């Protein structure tokens, strides 16, 4: 939109498909929404009860600039117990979710013109976040035919003297892909060889259905080139709490703190108290979440296998499926609209996740089995899938 009071860099801004869903979901009264990754699993009641007690006890004021010290210590303890990573509280910065974490990190590490490599299909908002920090997005495309695997040799060809970071999202949004140990080690070798940062976007760690469950940091936690971004939104179903954290070298954390003081000052105090109680009961809480979404995603996968002109890879992680719909002869955006209008089911078009996502749609299994059954019954009855 061209308007004299809007910065020129936003005149040709393209709205992300995810941002359009608030209006699209109102198109019909009986829509089944499988678009946004907002898990419907209830937040553990003890988290809310303890947060409420802490609010009454006075945890309603500014916290430390790095975040609630007790929460940061609890985070360090969890990484020590679960991953054998001996971080200190000075390695941890608390954020308002994973998106805020990514922005603060990119703003802190990028000079104008620096390049960040994203493995496509990738999370919708990586590109605008990189551009906001005056960096350039470099895309490495993967293919569904090879289960979105990374060819390290081909990936290395995208590295230049301006490469500052590469983003690794495993399990991946939108594909659900989990990268194996050999791939992660090879990526760390590349970072060491070319001296760039690995940004491990670890927000779906509890929804990993494979045997490769180690986070990137656990392979070499002392490596200053590995930075971890985490969110409590998916692993604890706490999307509305807007809580996350960054783990990095102390010098990077100090810079992030300085940047955030002009952006968000400090993070919601009560949400941080909720994070403490979430981490302390993480194994019990996450086991229920894991089982529920694993059941749903494998149900959806089996339904897709029996639908003409739609195919999906075996689920590895997250609560998303990223089926190929090229057999329909329609583009991702065309099939997105058609499924909405014909079946009253809202999904997301694959091209919103980068060029490699064209010919796919993303389905979020964030409703129960009964609703998923109804959604797939409707889709299966569309002429284009018969």
* pLDDT score of 1 more than 90: no
| Domains defined for the chain, CATH in brackets | 8-42+284-385 (3.90.1150.10), 45-282 (3.40.640.10)
Residue bearing the bigger pLDDT, 278 or 4? 278
Query: In the predicted model, what is the mean pLDDT of residues 58-70?
Result: 97
Query: In the predicted model, what is the mean pLDDT of residues 42-71?
Result: 97
How much is the pLDDT for 22? 78
Query: In the predicted model, what is the mean pLDDT of residues 120-142?
Result: 95
Q: What percent of the chain has pLDDT over 70?
A: 100
Query: In this predicted structure, which of 20-29, 64-73, 121-130 has the lowest mean pLDDT?
Result: 20-29
Q: What percent of the chain has pLDDT over 90?
A: 92
Per residue in 232-262, pLDDT (tens digit) is 999 999 999 999 999 999 999 999 999 999 9
* pLDDT score of 25 more than 90: no
How much is the pLDDT for 367? 97
Query: In the predicted model, what is the mean pLDDT of residues 324-338?
Result: 95
Who contacts 176 (Cβ-Cβ below 8 Å, separation ≥6)? 297, 313, 315, 316, 317, 318, 320, 321, 322
How much is the pLDDT for 7? 86
Residue bearing the bigger pLDDT, 98 or 24? 98
Q: If you average pLDDT over every residue of the chain, what do you get?
A: 95
**pTM recorded for the entire structure:** 0.95
């Amino acid at each position: 939109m061209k308007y004299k009071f809007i910065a020129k860099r936003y005149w040709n801004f393209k709205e992300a498909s995810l941002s359009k869903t608030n209006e699209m979901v109102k198109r019909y009264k009986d829509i089944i929404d499988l678009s946004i990754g907002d898990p419907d699993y209830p937040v553990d009641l003890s988290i809310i009860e303890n947060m409420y007690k802490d609010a009454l006890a006075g945890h309603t004021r500014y916290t430390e600039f790095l975040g609630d010290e007790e929460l940061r210590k609890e985070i360090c303890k969890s990484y020590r117990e679960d991953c054998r990573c001996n971080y200190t509280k000075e390695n941890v910065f608390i954020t308002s979710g994973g998106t805020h974490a990514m922005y603060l990190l990119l703003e802190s590490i990028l000079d104008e013109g620096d390049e960040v490599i994203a493995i496509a299909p990738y999370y919708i908002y990586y590109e605008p976040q990189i551009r906001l920090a005056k960096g350039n997005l470099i895309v490495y495309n993967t293919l569904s035919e090879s289960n979105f695997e990374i060819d390290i040799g081909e990936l290395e060809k995208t590295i230049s003297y301006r490469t500052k970071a590469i983003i690794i999202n495993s399990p991946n949004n939108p594909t659900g892909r989990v990268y194996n140990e050999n791939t992660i080690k090879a990526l760390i070798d590349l970072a060491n060889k070319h001296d760039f940062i690995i940004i491990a976007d670890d927000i779906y760690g509890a929804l990993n259905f494979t045997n490769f469950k180690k986070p990137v940091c656990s392979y070499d936690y002392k490596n200053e080139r590995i930075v971890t971004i985490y969110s409590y939104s998916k692993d604890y179903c706490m999307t509305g709490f807007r809580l996350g954290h960054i783990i990095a070298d102390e010098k990077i954390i100090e810079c992030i703190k300085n940047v955030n003081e002009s952006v968000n000052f400090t993070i919601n105090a009560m949400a941080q108290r909720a994070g403490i109680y979430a981490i302390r009961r993480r194994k019990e809480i996450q086991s229920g979440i894991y089982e529920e979404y694993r059941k749903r995603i494998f149900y959806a996968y089996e339904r897709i296998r029996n639908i003409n002109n739609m195919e999906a890879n075996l689920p590895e992680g997250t609560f998303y499926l990223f089926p190929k719909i090229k057999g329909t002869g329609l583009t991702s955006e065309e099939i997105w609209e058609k499924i909405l209008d014909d079946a009253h089911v809202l999904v997301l078009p694959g091209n919103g996740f980068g060029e490699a996502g064209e010919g796919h749609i993303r389905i979020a299994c964030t409703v129960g089995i009964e609703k998923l059954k109804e959604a797939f019954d409707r889709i299966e009855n569309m002429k284009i899938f018969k």
